[in-house]
Structure 1
């Protein structure tokens, strides 16, 4: 049972890291976009 739980946790961890990597690109783009607009909003 412990082995299965560790395996499931590892899979979830891998998937979240993959999602985070994918979201980081979108996030950095969103941050650049937001800061760009904040500069000109002032």
Structure 2
């Protein structure tokens, strides 16, 4: 019971947070370089 709860709680916030920040940074980098140029 403890292992299932800890694995699910740690996997949910860690997986959606890392993949979401990656695409967000990539989309912000292209527009930022063009706007500065």
Aligned pair count reads 36
After superposition, the CA RMSD in angstroms is: 1.8
Structure 2 stretches lacking a partner, 5+ long: none
Moved over 3 A (4+): none
Give the greater-gyration-radius structure (CA).
1
TM-score where L is the length of structure 2: 0.60
For normalisation by structure 1, the TM-score amounts to 0.57
5+ residue gaps, structure 1, are: 37-42
